[in-house]
């Protein structure tokens, strides 16, 4: 097809044709003329995926500089996925990767951060100069993107201090100017490190997600704080969240998170214990079913799908103990709340959460099952501790 024929087509037809082209050809189309370039750029920037093992790659910094130079490009972005493979194992978590950039490459990001009025601006500028990944990700998230999907995981979220500060500024403290992300359409959010971090706590960095006005699906790692508090005086009251996935948070804080979701349909939660935090009052070897009862009671009128996983992190693979050396786990109370979850039809749960570690004959299954259950899966999680 000649260029003149394509240019003569309605915009909708041109976009339909361009959507079938690979990204390499779309980049070539951008060199033809300004009209086709405008259409091709809307497709090129609609979905951004950065996945890299090589932290000397310039992909992230190049994208940030492009958006800073031409802010209109940011308005095309609908999906942002940052997947940084953790090429270093968890025991190297203290050695966070850095992005090495030269002076000229830093000019635009530094100028942008300097133009904001956030109180942590000096620290942000310092971390940019140090090549901290979360400083660049925070700057990227501050651009006028119109996201409906956001996923940041593994090494891109290992250090999330500045990312969390930016989230709090935009979602909870809108008086701060200069941070331009349009989050009014943001429906799906995934923030995760993919493993429990003994050295850092990210709770304050992910809690702002509960304030998003349109989020429907939320999957986050929430590590257990010493004390739990929301980033604002008033806790969120979110009726839009219908799917919630929580990793690592213990049952004492589960109720705080679940209670603010007024329309929750699906909950997936991973219970976790590690003996390496024996001095932590939260990380105890007791599965507190009483607290789980109270948490689930908040969503008894809306919850239709519940999945609970359980695991014990005992060192790293080369430190795994023999069976008889595993820590002693126990349960407290029973899951009587299950009989009150009238809307629940799908349930996946460790059998120990239903019947404890006692012989099965001591408890009756019907006393702890939802009345209208249709699909029941009982797992053998924690079977090494029976």
Higher pLDDT, 362 or 76: 76
Structure tokens at 211: 């304030």
Give the CATH fold of the 8-44 domain: Monooxygenase (1.20.1280)
Cα(28)–Cα(43) distance, integer angstroms:
13
Q: What confidence score (pLDDT) does residue 2 get?
A: 44
The shares of helix, strand and coil residues in the chain, as percent rounded to the nearest 5, are: 40, 20, 45
Per-domain residue ranges of the chain = 8-44, 47-222, 242-386
Identify the H or E element spanning 257: helix 251-258
User: What share of the chain in percent tops pLDDT 90?
Assistant: 44
Q: How confident is the model at residue 294 (pLDDT cuts 50, 70, 90)?
A: very high
Cα(333)–Cα(369) distance, integer angstroms:
15
Residue 84 has pLDDT above 80, yes or no: no
Residue 278 has pLDDT above 70, yes or no: no
Judged by average pLDDT, the poorest of 192-196, 318-322, 344-348, 366-370 is: 318-322
Structure tokens at 251: 């049952």
116-133 residue pLDDT tens: 989 999 999 999 999 888
Q: What is the pTM of this model?
A: 0.87
State phi, psi for 336 to the nearest 5 degrees.
-65, -25
């Amino acid at each position: 097809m000649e260029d003149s024929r394509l240019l003569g087509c309605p915009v909708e037809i041109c976009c339909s044709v361009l959507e079938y082209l690979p990204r390499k050809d779309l980049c070539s189309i951008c060199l033809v003329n300004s009209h086709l370039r405008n259409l091709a750029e809307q497709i090129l920037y609609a979905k951004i995926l950065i996945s890299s093992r090589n932290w000397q790659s310039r992909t992230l910094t190049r994208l940030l500089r492009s958006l800073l130079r031409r802010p209109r490009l940011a308005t095309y972005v609908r999906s942002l996925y940052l997947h940084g493979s953790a090429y270093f194992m968890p025991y190297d978590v203290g050695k966070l990767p850095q992005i090495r950039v030269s002076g000229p490459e830093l000019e635009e990001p530094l100028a942008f951060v300097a133009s904001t009025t956030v109180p942590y601006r000096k620290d942000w500028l310092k971390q940019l100069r140090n090549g901290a990944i979360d400083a660049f990700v925070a700057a990227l998230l501050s651009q006028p993107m119109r996201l409906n999907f956001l996923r940041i995981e593994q090494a891109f979220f290992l250090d999330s201090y500045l990312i969390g500060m930016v989230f709090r500024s935009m979602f909870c403290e809108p008086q701060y100017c200069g941070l331009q992300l349009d989050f009014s359409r943001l429906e799906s959010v995934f923030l995760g490190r993919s493993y429990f971090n003994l050295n850092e706590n990210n709770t304050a960095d992910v809690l702002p997600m509960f304030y998003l006005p349109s989020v429907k699906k939320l999957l986050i790692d929430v590590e257990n704080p010493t004390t739990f508090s929301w980033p604002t005086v008033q806790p969120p009251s979110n009726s839009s969240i219908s799917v919630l996935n929580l990793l690592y948070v213990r049952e004492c804080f589960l109720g705080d998170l679940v209670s603010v979701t007024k329309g929750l349909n699906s909950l997936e939660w991973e219970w976790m214990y590690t003996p390496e935090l024996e001095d932590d009052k939260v990380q105890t070897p007791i599965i507190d079913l009483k607290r789980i009862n109270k948490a689930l009671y908040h969503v008894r009128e809306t919850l239709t799908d519940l999945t609970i996983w359980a695991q014990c992190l005992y060192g790293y693979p080369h430190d795994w103990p023999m069976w008889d050396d595993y820590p002693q786990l126990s349960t407290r109370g029973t899951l009587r709340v299950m009989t009150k979850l009238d809307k629940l039809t799908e349930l996946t749960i460790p059998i120990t959460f239903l019947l404890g570690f006692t012989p099965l004959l001591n408890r009756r299954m019907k006393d702890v099952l939802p009345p209208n259950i249709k699909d029941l899966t009982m797992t053998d999680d924690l079977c090494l501790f029976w």
